[in-house]
Amino acid sequence: MLRGILTAALACIFLSMSGCGGEAENDTVTDADSGGNETNQIYEEDEKMNSVKGWLYNGYDKLSESGELPRDSADVYNLYMAKNEAEGCQLALCADKRYGSLSLEAASDDGAPELTIYKESFVSVKDDYLPDALAPFSGKLTLLADRNAVLYLRFTSDNETTAGDYSYSFTLKDKDEVLYSCTVNVHVMDFALPDTLSCATAVGLYKDSIAAKHNVSDPDEIDRLYKAYYDLMLEYKVTAYDLPYDILDERADEYMSNPRVTSFRVPTCDGDDARLEAIYDKLKSNPEWLDKAYFYPLDEPTSREMLDTLASLCERLNKIAPEVKVCTPFFRNIDYDNNTDQIGFMTGKTTLWCPKSYMYVTSNVYSEAQLEKYPSYGERMAERKAAGDKVWWYVCWEPGDPYNNLFVDQLGVQHRILFWQQYAHDVDGFLYWGANYWNGTSDPWGDMATVKQLSPDVYGDGSLLYNGNIVGADGGCPSLRLAAIRDGVEDFELLAMAARLYGDDWVAEKIAEITPSLTQYTTDSARFDEVRRSIYEAVETAMKK
């Protein structure tokens, strides 16, 4: 039974360039006997019904505002998800003439997963405009002639959602006139993803960027906005470096105990050993908190001097808080001396290893002498894990193609496959340096070349969020790339469940169907969805036994 209709007026989307994939196929017909009135009227009605075209497709492919919609696009999309999961799909709309004041009506079966609709905003990338920001509904939809408008449809199930099939209908109207309609069928599998995540995340979130783009200076208001951004990231199963509250504040306890909070940075409290001791005492009172805590004293050591500094910092931290992991992102493997390389020197100091992803191709970071002298990078990380250390990895403004990253102009499927590769290499977590680095752009909504000092052709580095005050949101707005990270984290969880049920070799074979190596992977989203669905079905079958 369909439940109440949700009418969402869509905000105006200003687009450019042609994108509907050709003109209407109908030819004008006239009737000499009637003077053409009746047949022209029939044609005009048909033309109006056919002037709006739609396309339903997955939640991660990127259709530019000028991209062609398939001529054979279906008006039905089938989506598969577990309980306690969020999955999305996209609805692209294009018209051959301008329409204003359109509304979207959505209806669903009783008990269906929660539906949230976002308006995708396009950002300039080289000579095109690609979708990225996900803005809330806040008005009416205007379709401009031959320009795509894209909606992101997010479906969220919980642990109590009943397994089975649910139907959602969407109707685009000009007042009372139907211009386009489509259906999304959601199949909820008969198992739930766990609340406690297997994939840790740690992503930078910066108060100064929030204050600048929201034009606020009051410390309390900045803190309030920071918490709103932090909570938004948690909604997407991504944890920011720093908690919204001081660790010694009782309000931090709820966050540290939240299963979606997979990590948090502990301040090094330079010059204040007593404060650091108090923090450590509190963390030791709860093993879960202690396991999530980490220090981040030095970033990307690239010289012997920096390694000596790291050693000095670690000596103090390991003396005061020996059970808190020390995270050190790095992307090189220099020789410290004739007998010790960087990995060897960091051993016993760094306890949360965080290499750049491409280091798992050992030849990228080893010298010829190191290749002859040491085991592969992956083997050495396996040794560190066996000794009790943790291993994460990271990406930033590099590596670029053919490696997977989070750039606006990479394929959406690449963002998700990055987490399949992470699982394949037995990497525990994902670190990313920024979710809201906007210092390099005056307006992230129009310019995502955020690190022009490094490269003017890198789009979206360090920025997965948008300042929501531009579109009337109290806090931040997510992006397609942030949604892809959430999907990747959930894919990671699905792979972990499958490994417990079928074994590591079975999962490795499935992953190899998608990505045999860090630089080899499918770009066929239909193939990706097919393999992913097969894992869903296998997990469901095993869970029912």
Q: Please check whether residue 468 is in contact with residue 477, taking contact to mean a CB–CB distance below 8 angstroms.
A: yes
What is the domain range of residue 433? 200-478
Rounded distance between C-alpha atoms, residue 349 and residue 381, angstroms: 14
The DSSP symbol for 267 reads P
Question: In which element (H, E) is residue 100 found?
Answer: strand 99-108
Q: Please check whether residue 183 is in contact with residue 167, taking contact to mean a CB–CB distance below 8 angstroms.
A: yes
Q: Please check whether residue 125 is in contact with residue 459, taking contact to mean a CB–CB distance below 8 angstroms.
A: yes
Sign of CA dihedral 360, 363, 364, 367: positive
Q: Where are the alpha helices (DSSP H) in 503-545?
A: 504-514, 525-544
303, 392, 413: which is closest to 350 by C-alpha?
392
Question: Do 187 and 212 fall within a single domain?
Answer: no
Binning the chain into helix, strand and coil, the percentages to the nearest 5 are 35, 25, 40
Name the one residue in this structure whose structure tokens are 């920011």: 240
Question: Do 247 and 297 fall within a single domain?
Answer: yes
Strands (E), 418-488: 429-432, 466-467, 476-477
Question: Do 249 and 304 fall within a single domain?
Answer: yes
What is the structure's pLDDT at 7? 35
Strand partners, 99: 143
Q: Where are the alpha helices (DSSP H) in 190-303?
A: 207-214, 219-235, 251-257, 273-284, 287-292
Question: Do 55 and 146 fall within a single domain?
Answer: yes
What does each of the 545 residues of the chain score in pLDDT, given as a tens digit?
333 334 333 333 322 233 454 333 332 222 223 333 333 343 344 444 458 999 999 999 999 998 888 877 779 999 999 999 999 999 999 999 999 889 999 999 999 999 999 999 999 999 899 999 999 976 578 899 999 999 999 999 999 999 999 999 999 999 999 999 999 999 999 999 999 999 999 999 999 999 999 999 999 999 999 999 999 999 999 999 999 999 999 999 999 999 999 999 999 999 999 999 999 999 999 999 999 999 999 999 999 999 999 999 999 999 999 999 999 999 999 999 999 999 999 999 999 999 999 999 999 999 999 999 999 999 999 999 999 999 999 999 999 999 999 999 999 999 999 999 999 999 999 999 999 999 999 999 999 999 999 999 999 999 999 999 999 999 999 999 999 999 999 999 999 999 999 999 999 999 999 999 999 999 999 999 999 999 999 999 999 98
Residue 514 lies in a domain: no
Q: Please check whether residue 279 is in contact with residue 243, taking contact to mean a CB–CB distance below 8 angstroms.
A: no
DSSP state string for 138-190: -S-EEEPBT--EEEEEEEE--TTPPSEEEEEEEEEEETTEEEEEEEEEEEEEE
**CATH number, domain at 73?**
2.60.40.10
Name the one residue in this structure whose structure tokens are 């970071």: 365
Polymer length of the chain: 545
Question: Tokens representing 72?
Answer: 């054979």
Question: In which element (H, E) is residue 221 found?
Answer: helix 219-235
What is the structure's pLDDT at 511? 99
Rounded distance between C-alpha atoms, residue 505 and residue 494, angstroms: 15
Residue 65 lies in a domain: yes
* Structural domains counted in the chain: 2
Rounded distance between C-alpha atoms, residue 60 and residue 488, angstroms: 11
Find all residues with CB under 8 Å of 408, minimum gap 6, and list them: 123, 125, 130, 132, 448, 459, 460, 481
Residue 219 lies in a domain: yes
Residue 503 lies in a domain: no
β-strand pairing of 99-108 with 6-9: antiparallel
Q: What is the CA 492 to chain-centroid distance, rounded?
A: 13
Question: Do 456 and 319 fall within a single domain?
Answer: yes
Domain finish residue from 452, 478, 504: 478
Question: Do 454 and 472 fall within a single domain?
Answer: yes
What is the structure's pLDDT at 435? 99
Q: First CA to last CA across the chain, in angstroms? A: 31
What is the structure's pLDDT at 70? 82
What does each C-alpha distance from 69 to 27, 73, 118, 154 come to in angstroms? Answer: 21, 7, 20, 21
Give pTM, 2 decimals.
0.91
DSSP state string for 34-58: GTTHHHHHHHHHHHHHHSEEEEEEE
What is the structure's pLDDT at 20? 54
Domain finish residue from 163, 192, 221: 192
- Amino acid at position 77, single letter: Y
Rounded distance between C-alpha atoms, residue 299 and residue 309, angstroms: 11
Residue 30 lies in a domain: no
Find all residues with CB under 8 Å of 133, minimum gap 6, and list them: 120, 121, 123, 444, 445, 466, 477, 478, 479
Question: Do 207 and 289 fall within a single domain?
Answer: yes
Question: Do 342 and 406 fall within a single domain?
Answer: yes
Rounded distance between C-alpha atoms, residue 170 and residue 181, angstroms: 5
Question: Do 183 and 314 fall within a single domain?
Answer: no
What is the structure's pLDDT at 302? 98
Question: Tokens representing 365?
Answer: 């970071």
What is the structure's pLDDT at 139? 53
Question: Do 186 and 283 fall within a single domain?
Answer: no
Half-sphere exposure of 349 (CA within 13 A, CB side): 21
Q: Where are the alpha helices (DSSP H) in 431-479?
A: none
Q: Please check whether residue 478 is in contact with residue 465, taking contact to mean a CB–CB distance below 8 angstroms.
A: yes
Residue 296 lies in a domain: yes
What is the structure's pLDDT at 46? 46
Question: Do 77 and 205 fall within a single domain?
Answer: no
Domain finish residue from 427, 448, 478: 478
The DSSP symbol for 440 reads T
Using DSSP, state whether 375 is helix, strand or coil: coil
208, 269, 263, 207: which is closest to 234 by C-alpha?
263
Question: Do 173 and 216 fall within a single domain?
Answer: no
Residue 376 lies in a domain: yes
Residue 539 lies in a domain: no
